[in-house]
């Protein structure tokens, strides 16, 4: 089923078919022939070959998205946000998960597939050597870089808001659970947290700053360490919700009441935050919004339009008070 077949069926040339079907604005086609072509196409169930189109237009109308870990709900939300706006704009979405195959490798493959751009989330710029991204439209999610365009959430604000919330509840022995990751977002969450505490005149014993992987089991292990300090912190900020979930679990296992004995606040507001008991107090980071914005940014760039509005300020984050934080009782 090619344009030729349709042309034959309609008794016109292949290029006329293309003219009609591609909706080219500067194509003046007689109403009669247009009808005939449309009819023929419908009858034959014609589906244009987008590879061929891409080849001649040097544009595939597809974009790639590579994430560091597809099983992390935060990233699946980013993907889903991006997919939504891409699909809306009739763009294809090629997916890459960087757990098995390095992000750089994915990016190169996507480039070979001639994607018009790629969104990269959860991957540091250092994992993307220059040669992998030359001649490619990249946008980074939550990894600000002077050189590449990107969209980001206000990570430092996340840390600050967590700190203020706990401070306002009267807590002063405050712990932090997070990865020793080079990821900008994690670093800034931690920095915002530390700065807000310092500003409030709160000292941070090093035992209260525990490094662990940014996963549920990491959070679980980390919280166990925190629980073994003496005196214990009465409030804990976790670098993401997965860690917080693990922390909650460790508390439950140790018979430590949340928020009775210890308050915990997460970060991201993944869907699960609402589904655990007690419900997790957390800092909402608009994952889906980040994905959507990244896609929009890419599409605007491809259209050569102004991207100022999207690239300007970071997406705001917001404290969501649920059930894992309470006024300090002791």
Cβ neighbors of 74 (< 8 A, separation 6 or more) are: 240, 241, 268, 270, 285, 287
33 binds DNA (CB under 7 A): yes
- Give the three-class secondary structure for 25: coil
From edge to edge, which strands make up the β-sheet containing 281-284? 209-211, 174-178, 235-238, 263-268, 281-284, 318-320
- Give the three-class secondary structure for 267: strand
Give me the least distance between CB of 112 and a second copy, in Å please. Answer: 5
Lookup: tokens for 232: 């214990």
Q: What φ, ψ does residue 295 adopt, rounded to 5°?
A: -65, -45
111 binds DNA (CB under 7 A): no
Lookup: tokens for 91: 């763009």
Sequence length of the chain is 330
Task: State the Cα–Cα distance between residues 175 and 193, nearest whole angstrom.
Answer: 10
Name which position in 9, 34, 109, 328 contacts a second copy (CB under 8 A): 109
Select 34 or 109, whichever has its Cβ closest to DNA.
34
Name which position in 48, 92, 124, 278 contacts DNA (CB under 7 A): 48
34 binds DNA (CB under 7 A): yes
Give me the least distance between CB of 109 and a second copy, in Å please. Answer: 7
Select 60 or 324, whichever has its Cβ closest to DNA.
60
Residue 15 touches which member of a second copy, DNA, none, C-beta under 5-8 Å by kind: DNA
Task: State the Cα–Cα distance between residues 158 and 167, nearest whole angstrom.
Answer: 14
Q: Residues 112 to 171: which contact a second copy by CB under 8 A?
A: 112-114, 131, 134
Cβ neighbors of 313 (< 8 A, separation 6 or more) are: none
180 to 219: interface string for a second copy, x by CB under 8 A: ------------------------------------x---
113 binds DNA (CB under 7 A): no
Q: Determine the interface stretch with DNA among 7-15, 84-92, 187-195, 310-318 (rule: CB under 7 A).
A: 7-15
Q: Specify whether the CB–CB gap between 263 and 324 falls below 8 A.
A: yes
Lookup: tokens for 299: 């599409």
Residue 228 touches which member of DNA, a second copy, none, C-beta under 5-8 Å by kind: none
Select 77 or 269, whichever has its Cβ closest to a second copy.
77
Name which position in 8, 27, 200, 209 contacts DNA (CB under 7 A): 27
Sequence-ordered strand ranges (E) for the chain? 62-67, 92-97, 117-121, 138-141, 150-151, 174-178, 209-211, 235-238, 263-268, 281-284, 318-320
- Give the three-class secondary structure for 135: coil
Question: Tell me, what DSSP letter sits at residue 229?
Answer: S
Q: Determine the interface stretch with a second copy among 107-115, 150-158, 175-183, 314-322 (rule: CB under 8 A).
A: 107-115
28 to 67: interface string for a second copy, x by CB under 8 A: -----------------x-xxxxxx-xx----x-x-----
Q: Specify whether the CB–CB gap between 104 and 128 falls below 8 A.
A: yes
Residue 4 touches which member of DNA, a second copy, none, C-beta under 5-8 Å by kind: DNA
19 binds DNA (CB under 7 A): yes
Q: Determine the interface stretch with DNA among 12-20, 64-72, 208-216, 218-226 (rule: CB under 7 A).
A: 12-20
Select 44 or 204, whichever has its Cβ closest to a second copy.
44
Select 76 or 301, whichever has its Cβ closest to a second copy.
76
135 binds DNA (CB under 7 A): no
How far, in whole angstroms, is CA 114 from its chain's centroid? 22
Lookup: tokens for 264: 């915990």
Q: Which residues contribute to the site for DNA (CB under 7 A)? A: 1-4, 11-16, 18-19, 21-22, 24, 27-30, 32-34, 46-49, 52-53, 55-58
């Amino acid at each position: 089923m090619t344009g030729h077949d349709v042309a034959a069926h309609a008794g016109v040339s292949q290029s006329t078919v293309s003219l009609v079907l591609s909706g080219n604005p500067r194509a003046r086609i007689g109403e009669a022939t247009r009808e005939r072509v449309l009819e023929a196409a419908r009858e034959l169930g014609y589906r244009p070959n987008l590879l061929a189109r891409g080849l001649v237009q040097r544009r595939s109308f597809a974009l790639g998205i590579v994430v560091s870990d597809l099983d992390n709900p935060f990233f699946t939300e980013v993907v889903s946000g991006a997919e939504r706006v891409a699909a809306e704009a009739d763009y294809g979405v090629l997916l890459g998960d960087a757990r098995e195959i390095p992000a750089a490798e994915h990016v190169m493959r996507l480039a070979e597939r001639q994607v018009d751009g790629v969104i990269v989330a959860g991957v540091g710029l250092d994992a993307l050597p220059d040669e992998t991204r030359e001649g490619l439209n990249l946008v980074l999610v939550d990894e600000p870089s002077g050189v590449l365009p990107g969209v980001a959430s206000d990570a430092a604000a996340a840390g600050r808001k967590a700190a203020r919330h706990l401070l306002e509840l009267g807590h002063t022995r405050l712990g932090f659970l997070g990865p020793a990751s080079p990821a900008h977002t994690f670093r800034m969450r931690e920095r915002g947290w530390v700065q807000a505490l310092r500003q409030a005149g709160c000292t941070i014993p090093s035992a209260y700053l525990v490094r662990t992987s940014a996963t549920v089991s990491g959070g679980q292990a980390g919280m166990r360490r925190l629980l073994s300090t003496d005196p214990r912190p009465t409030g804990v900020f976790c670098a993401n919700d997965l860690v917080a979930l693990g922390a909650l679990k460790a508390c439950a296992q140790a018979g430590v009441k949340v928020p009775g004995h210890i308050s915990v606040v997460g970060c991201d507001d993944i869907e699960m935050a609402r589904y655990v008991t007690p419900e997790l107090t957390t800092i909402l980071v608009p994952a889906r919004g980040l994905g959507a914005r990244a896609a929009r940014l890419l599409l605007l760039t491809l259209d050569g339009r102004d991207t100022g509005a999207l690239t300007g300020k970071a997406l705001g984050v917001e404290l969501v008070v649920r059930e894992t934080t309470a006024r300090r009782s002791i």
